[in-house]
Structure 1
Amino acid sequence: MKAEERVIGNIEGMLKLSPIACEMLQKAVIEKDRSLLEEISRIERDGDDLRRETARIIYKGAFIPYLRSNILRLVEDVDDILNTVDKAGKYCRKINDLDFIRSSIEVGRLLEINVLLCKIMSKNFIEFFKDPEKLKEAAIVVRMLEKEADNMKHSALESLRSRDIEFWDGLFTFNFIESIEEISDVVEDTMDTLQVIVLGL
């Protein structure tokens, strides 16, 4: 297998981990199953292993020089998706009373949006290289979902302010909501980087 094919395969592998991690986070909240949060950390470590291996292949000479920096950036962006899901999981682990995030319609929608976004990226990644028009259409959907996620975050935080919650639980809940919205931001960044790469091919 060519070095370039290994890089693309590894990036696809990292992307495929992202909806799994997001679904685990969603399930952990719905079912109050904190053991799933540990599993998210394991997935993040698997993604980190792929990131390091992929960077080594690129530094050894995969891809022509003018593409390398953007390919490396894409690898880092995808890794950042997994890191951000793991960060959200760590905040969730610190919340003693999960009632607010379990009952919040906005938080539920945020978790759902993240799963959708990661599935768009992971299921279509290879196809995006073959069909730039499909990539353009997907980018529009990603931006729409990211905008919705931003609105959901502000609405959830507004609701949080009106709740009587213990200080530390309130802080960790705030950070959790910020983190799950950040996932959509990072997916949008990943899509932007991918568009730059495909346009340069």
Structure 2
Amino acid sequence: MKAEERVVNGISQMINLAFSACETLKKAVEDRNKALLEDVFRFERDGDEIRRNITQEIYRGAFLPYLRPNIFRLIETVDEILNTAEESAMNFQKIRDMKFLEIDEIYSILEINVRICSILSKNFSAFLRDPERLREGVIVVRMMEKEADNIKFAILEKLKTFNVDFWDGYFIANFVNSLEKLSDVAEDAMDMLQIILLSL
């Protein structure tokens, strides 16, 4: 297998881990099962290991020099999806009062994150072969990210009516913000993938 193929396969594996992390985070919140969060942390660690390996492949000479900076950015952006999922999980883990989960929109934003990562995960190879399909995917993801952004503000408005202690309020706000950030970073990954294909 060529070095370039190993890098592409590694990025694909990282994207699959990002999808699994978002899916597991959603289930942990829906079931109020904090034990599942350990899987999110494991996915992030696995992603870090893959990132290190494929970064070394690029430093050894994979891809033409003019492509490398954007490929590095794509790798870092996918890694940031995993880091943000971990951040969401860590904030959720620290929340004691789960009354805020009565807000339905929280489940909506979790579902959007899963759907966006699913688009990336299931179509990554197809996107590399078909720029038009990628362009359509970028438009869909952009619309979903905008929806997630609007939902975040709706959640924060509803949270104002909840009476929680300082630390729960702090971690709940961080949790909600990190959920929206997940969709934002995933959109960035799609944009970076499009930039790479346009430069080929």
- In the superposition, the TM-score normalised over structure 2's length comes to 0.99
Counterparts in 2 of 1:34-113, with a 5 A limit?
34-100=34-100, 102-113=101-112
CA displacement at 1:39 relative to structure 2: 1.2
**How far has the Cα of 1:99 moved from its partner?**
2.2
Name the counterpart of 1:14. Answer: 14
Q: Provide structure 1 residue ranges, at least 5 long, that are not aligned to the other structure.
A: none
Mapped contact 1:120–1:138 kept (Cα < 8 A): yes
State the SS of the aligned residue for 2:163.
coil
What SS does the aligned partner of 2:162 have?
Answer: coil
Where 2:33 maps in the other structure, the secondary structure is: coil
Residue of structure 2 in register with 1:200 after alignment: 199
Identity of aligned residues (%): 53
Residue in 2 that maps onto 1:169: 168
- Residue identity in the other structure for 1:24: T
- Indicate if the aligned counterparts of 1:91 and 1:175 stay in contact, CA closer than 8 A: yes
Q: Which amino acid aligns with 2:52?
A: R
Check whether the contact 1:104–1:156 (CA below 8 A) recurs between aligned residues.
Answer: yes
1:196: how far off?
0.4
SS of the residue corresponding to residue 115 of structure 1 reads helix
Distance 1:105 1:32 in 2: 14
TM-score between both structures, scaled by the size of structure 1: 0.98
Give the residue type in structure 1 aligned to 2:132: E
Per-residue CA deviation, residues 58-77 of structure 1 (Å, 9 max, x unaligned), is 01000000000000110000
Give the aligned partner of residue 190 of structure 1: 189
The 1-side partners of 2:16 and 2:138 are apart by: 18
* Structure 2 unpaired stretches of 5+: none
Cα distance in 2 for residues equivalent to 1:28 and 1:166: 23
Aligned residues: 200
Per-residue CA distance 1:66-106 (angstroms, 9 max, x = gap)? 00000011000000000000000000000001221x22111
Partner of 1:121: 120
CA distance in 2, matches of 1:112, 1:104: 14
Q: Distance in 2 between matches of 1:190 and 1:98?
A: 32
Q: Using the TM superposition, give the Cα deviation of residue 137 of structure 1 relative to its aligned residue in structure 2, in angstroms.
A: 0.3
Q: After superposition, give the CA deviation of every residue in 1:116-146 in whole Å (9 maximum; x if it has no partner).
A: 0000001101111111100000000000000
1:180 equivalent in structure 2: 179
Determine the C-alpha separation between the residues in 2 that align with 1:5 and 1:156: 42
Letter in 2 for 1:173: I
Q: Secondary structure at the match of 2:155?
A: helix
Distance (whole Å) between structure 2 residues aligned to residue 104 and residue 53 of structure 1: 41
Cα deviation code 1:140-168 (max 9, x no counterpart):
00000000000000000010012111111
